[in-house]
Chain A
Amino acid sequence: EAGVTQFPSHSVIEKGQTVTLRCDPISGHDNLYWYRRVMGKEIKFLLHFVKESKQDESGMPNNRFLAERTGGTYSTLKVQPAELEDSGVYFCASSQGLAGVYEQYFGPGTRLTVT
């Protein structure tokens, strides 16, 4: 069974540019989560999809971040325009059920560097 995949693995962009990160969850997992780790800090929750609906987006830092999950399969996270403080590793995770009951399986992360 394929795990959670993320693309790209690394992205280096200039401040003000746009970047789109992609996550493909494990097949059949209705729940998809985005997290971010800024260097040296904790991994922080960004948002949670159930199928194509946003269940919880309380962790999204501001309106420069837009997440979508059209059709309830893969998800994209767009940052527009990117700022220096957006640099970090963006993780995606998926699960069959809610975090408290089912294990979340994590992808390898996308390392975003904004210069």
Chain B
Amino acid sequence: AQSVSQHNHHVILSEAASLELGCNYSYGGTVNLFWYVQYPGQHLQLLLKYFSGDPLVKGIKGFEAEFIKSKFSFNLRKPSVQWSDTAEYFCAVSPYSSASKIIFGSGTRLSIRP
């Protein structure tokens, strides 16, 4: 079955620290890849997405993610986090063969110490 695995359940960092959240997926075919974010009290919103082309994708608020096909990974990075990045982050895939649905990971809660 298709699945998405996020390596960390809860990450705590200080402001200005670098961030990398791991994500691996299990699916043998072509996929679209996403990172969603849910800030406290807000809706889920799209942070960035990968469909094709350059495997290094840039999103909003200084986030980027790199698709490594051979590793089935799509890790999220930010060089210097801010307190306002405190949120829950979800990695997700949408298989081309079943493009109606998005399959989410279990989420990583990021807490930033001011």
Q: Which A residues are closer than 8 A to B by beta carbons?
A: 3-4, 31, 33, 35, 40-45, 48, 55-56, 58-59, 91, 93, 98-101, 103-109
A107 engages B99 (CB within 8 Å) = no
The 7 closest A-B pairs by CB, nearest first: A100-B99, A106-B44, A45-B101, A43-B104, A48-B100, A42-B106, A98-B99
B51 engages A100 (CB within 8 Å) = yes
Q: Does B90 contact A (CB under 8 A)?
A: yes
Q: Does B16 contact A (CB under 8 A)?
A: no
| Measured CA separation A100–B103 after assembly (Å) | 11
Nearest-Cβ distance from residue B24 to partner chain A, whole angstroms: 14
B101 engages A103 (CB within 8 Å) = no
Of the candidates A4, A40, A59, A101, the one whose C-beta lies within 8 Å of that of B99 is A101
What is the number of residues of chain B that contact chain A, defined by CB distance less than 8 Å?
24
Most B CB contacts (10 A, CB to CB) among A40, A101, A104, A107 go to A104
Q: Give the nearest-CB partner of A100 in chain B.
A: B99
A42 engages B105 (CB within 8 Å) = yes
A56 engages B104 (CB within 8 Å) = no
Q: Does B86 contact A (CB under 8 A)?
A: no
